[in-house]
Structure 1
Amino acid sequence: MTRSTATNIGFSAVLMWALLALLTIGSSPVPPFLLSSMCFGIGGAIGLVWTAKDAGLGVLKTVPWYFYLFGTVGLFGYHALYFTAFRLGPNASTGLIAYLWPLLIVLFSGLLPNERLRKGHILGALIALAGAAMIVLSRQSDAATSLPALGLAFLCALTWSSYSVISRRFGTVPSESVTVFCLATAVLSLLAHLGFEQTQWPNGAVGWGSVLALGIGPVGTAFFTWDIGMKRGDIQLLGVASYAAPLLSTLVLVAAGISKPTLGLGIATVLITLGAALAARASAVR
């Protein structure tokens, strides 16, 4: 598999994450940890089928236990921190801090062997961050700023960026291992649901369809394709391109009639596109 092919596969995760907000709204009123358990259960089942047909389930036995622990902490830890942060402070500031992870991926990638962090990567990441900030900060919220929420949001960003970059160091570990991450996260999320939440199921066909779509795409297959991109693709370019997720997510909500188009959205589009272009240009210089 070429570097560019792996990068394209990794970017497909960003495209799937663009549907996360719309499908999450459709899955209401399912509480977060129950939703996480259901979706990761679906994603894990897909992973089992894919693994059985491709490399065979035996490949899962070749993965070191500590890598399974690492991956489970990454997936479950990120979502647990994210959900808790938004419970304490469901506002734009929390969202912006949580979405520092693409910038951190770009910066942390400079610590990896055979990777060179260029000025274009940093500048592109900062410009794209400004575009993402316009989208997040334009969302209205009546909730007061919570310092614990901001702290958890930062830990959330740190967790996902660290998971993504460290995955690069385990490039020889098959991406089928994500199957176990998903299943373990589903179990832990279920335990968290039983301990902290009241059970509420999806409403009708739209609700159940949204949960199924989440498990197939944004909270399922996306983690497998992201793993391939992180291990074999252009990690700096993927980091900057990840800022397209909040932009595309907002565009999807606009298309669905849930959000309205604004001037700020247009400016954010230009900034994120410019940032990604700068990063792509920097990556082309090898």
Structure 2
Amino acid sequence: MTRIRATAIGFVAVLLWALLALLTVGSSPTPPLLLNAICFTIGGTLGLIWTAATGGLGQLRGVRWQVYVFGTLGLFGYHALYFSALRLAPAAEAGLIAYLWPLLIVLFSGLLPGEQLRRDHFLGALVAFAGAALIITGGGGPGFSTAYLPGYGLALLCALTWSGYSVLSRRIGDAPTSSVAVFCLATAAASWPLHFAFEITSWPQGAIGWAATIGLGLGPVGLAFFVWDIGVKRGDIQLLGTSSYAAPLLSTLVLVLTGIAAPSWTLGLAAILITGGALLAARASFAN
């Protein structure tokens, strides 16, 4: 596989993640752990079928158990927090805060051997977090409600979880793409009992609810992890990292176009600040 083709395959993940908020809203009122369980069962099962069909099952025995634990905790933690955040706060606002992870990846990468942070990294961080603050305060308008603070907090934890997982994954060595299927199935296995222990079961409602849930399992919580793995391992990881900064803007645009989020100057400015801050940090990375 060529570097250009691998990069293009990895970019598919960015497009799929732009639909994450829309499909999560469509799956309501399914509780977060149950949604985790259903989606990762779908994604993991299809991934295992793909692994078997391509003769990759033997590779799974050579993966260290620590890698499986790390991958499972990363996927489980991120999505449990994300789904919970979108249940407790408006989808567009919570989604934008959660999408601080591309910027945080750039900042945290400065802690890795051989990496350093430059002035634009810090400027980018300030600009992006100004966007997050604008969302939380509602620009000082009447739309602000403290009732959404738990959701905003979970969205921020979500961003910290995925960025930490992404950066630390460089320290544990490479694993075959087929191992992602195990991450997904293990996440589902953990989510099912936790759901029955702590949540009230509420299955997706009607055709739209089930279509959104299945769509999550097939795309943003399924195929996206496999194509992203191919992209970051065989493609241009800098280009893919930069392209991921488009995800919050695309996600918000999808929510506005579908009528879930109302267009407003506050939302638009916040999207510009978060995306612009991340691009500013990315420019500093390219200069290294």
Q: Do they superpose with TM above 0.5?
A: yes
Deviation of 1:252 (Å): 0.5
- Identity of paired residues, percent? 64
**CA, structure 1 residues 280+95, in 2 after alignment: closer, same or farther (shift >3 Å)?**
closer
Alignment-derived partner of residue 102 in structure 1: 102
Q: Residues of 2 paired with 1:184 and 1:74: CA distance? A: 11
TM-score relative to the length of structure 1? 0.80
Deviates more, 1:92-101 or 1:178-187: 92-101
Q: Residues of 2 paired with 1:194 and 1:128: CA distance? A: 38
Whether the 8 Å CA contact 1:106–1:122 is kept in 2: the answer is no
Question: Is 1:144 matched up with 2:152?
Answer: no
Whether the 8 Å CA contact 1:90–1:143 is kept in 2: the answer is no
Alignment-derived partner of residue 244 in structure 1: 246
Q: Residues of 1 paired with 2:248 and 2:285: CA distance? A: 23
Match of 2:186 among 184, 187, 203: 184
Deviates more, 1:164-173 or 1:153-162: 153-162
Aligned residues: 284
Amino acid at match of 1:112: L
Amino acid at match of 1:144: A
TM-score relative to the length of structure 2? 0.80
Cα displacement string for residues 116-164 of structure 1 (whole angstroms, at most 9, x for unaligned residues): 44433443344344345545654956453668984x6554433222211
Whether the 8 Å CA contact 2:29–2:205 is kept in 1: the answer is yes
Whether the 8 Å CA contact 1:121–1:236 is kept in 2: the answer is no
Deviation of 1:95 (Å): 6.6
Alignment-derived partner of residue 211 in structure 1: 213
**CA, structure 1 residues 157+167, in 2 after alignment: closer, same or farther (shift >3 Å)?**
same
Alignment-derived partner of residue 41 in structure 1: 41
Structure 2 residue ranges without an equivalent (≥5) = none
**1:13 match: secondary structure:** helix
**CA, structure 1 residues 208+153, in 2 after alignment: closer, same or farther (shift >3 Å)?**
closer
Task: Within 5 Å, give how 1:35-74 maps onto structure 2.
Answer: 35-74=35-74
Task: Within 5 Å, give how 1:105-254 maps onto structure 2.
Answer: 105-135=105-135, 138=138, 140=143, 142-144=145-147, 150=153, 155-231=157-233, 241-254=243-256
**CA, structure 1 residues 141+277, in 2 after alignment: closer, same or farther (shift >3 Å)?**
closer
**CA, structure 1 residues 250+137, in 2 after alignment: closer, same or farther (shift >3 Å)?**
farther
Deviation of 1:211 (Å): 1.1
Structure 1 residue ranges without an equivalent (≥5) = none
Q: Residues of 1 paired with 2:237 and 2:31: CA distance? A: 33
Q: Residues of 2 paired with 1:45 and 1:170: CA distance? A: 25
Whether the 8 Å CA contact 2:47–2:181 is kept in 1: the answer is yes
Deviates more, 1:163-172 or 1:235-244: 235-244
**CA, structure 1 residues 168+12, in 2 after alignment: closer, same or farther (shift >3 Å)?**
farther
Q: Residues of 1 paired with 2:30 and 2:151: CA distance? A: 25
Deviates more, 1:77-86 or 1:100-109: 77-86
User: RMSD of aligned C-alpha atoms?
Assistant: 3.5
Deviation of 1:273 (Å): 4.8
Alignment-derived partner of residue 260 in structure 1: 262
Deviation of 1:238 (Å): 5.3
Q: Residues of 2 paired with 1:46 and 1:123: CA distance? A: 42
Whether the 8 Å CA contact 2:7–2:231 is kept in 1: the answer is yes
Amino acid at match of 1:53: A
Whether the 8 Å CA contact 2:97–2:152 is kept in 1: the answer is no
